[in-house]
Amino acid sequence: MGYNVIAKSVFKRIAIAALFWCCVFQTVAEAASQTSAAQNCDRFVRKGQNTTNDPIWMGTSQIDLDDLPPNFFVAETRYAIFDFDHDGHNDLVISHVGGSHYFSGSFFVLAPDTVTVEDALTKLYPSNKDGDEDLAIDIAKKLGWRVYAGGQPELYSRVDPRYVYVSRIRVGSKIYLEARPDNFANKPSAIVFQLGPKGRLQHFCTVP
């Protein structure tokens, strides 16, 4: 009986040790896998080319200023007409980028293609100038226009949209949306999405 008790005790200890090391190896493997995925995502993002340099985009220099209120000024604004959100309909896409202390980020507003860029900017910026990006985003939402900006679910919901860069990038032949906070203290460092049907964000990868 004594030997049986000892044997059972030894086997029990061996089983516990085996279970412990199995958990350790699994944790290490998962950590290694996550590190590899993060590194791959970082390399993927570095390959991306910002599509707002494509010929389809037009700058504010091509807007008829006579159709805008006096003293109207919107810096770093581009626009284009194409099916941005894959819903089968063309959109008037307005890209607004800021590089100041007040606004260091970027976002997209999608208005119906029946709206002129002059009308869209006048609605978004009723003060006749840029400088209130939060208000512009709120107005766009109230108008029922789709917005891709920070401060929203999946796009750094706890960060003010003025401090999140949302970019449309091309990697190979495919288009992705990349969101990146201006402040490096905000994590993750970047999130990449594919645009699904009707503009739905589909997570692709994350840079921690």
The Cα 208–Cα 197 span in angstroms is 27
In this predicted structure, the answer to whether residue 174 has a pLDDT above a threshold of 70 is yes
- The per-residue pLDDT for 32 is 37
**CA angle (129 as vertex; 128, 130 as ends), nearest 5:** 140
Q: Which residues contact 191 (CB under 8 A, 6 or more apart)?
A: 154, 155, 156, 178, 179, 180, 203, 205, 206, 207
CA 203 to mean position of chain CA atoms = 10
User: What pLDDT is recorded for position 47?
Assistant: 84
Say which range, 23-37, 135-149, 170-184, has the weakest mean pLDDT.
23-37
Beta-carbon contacts of 74 under 8 Å, excluding residues fewer than 6 positions away, are 60, 96, 121, 125, 129, 130
**Side chain identity, residue 49:** Q
Q: Is the pLDDT of residue 146 over 90?
A: yes
| pLDDT tens, position by position, 37-89 | 667 898 888 888 888 778 888 876 666 656 666 666 666 788 899 999 888 88
Q: What is the pLDDT of residue 33?
A: 42
134 within 8 A of 162, measured Cβ to Cβ: yes
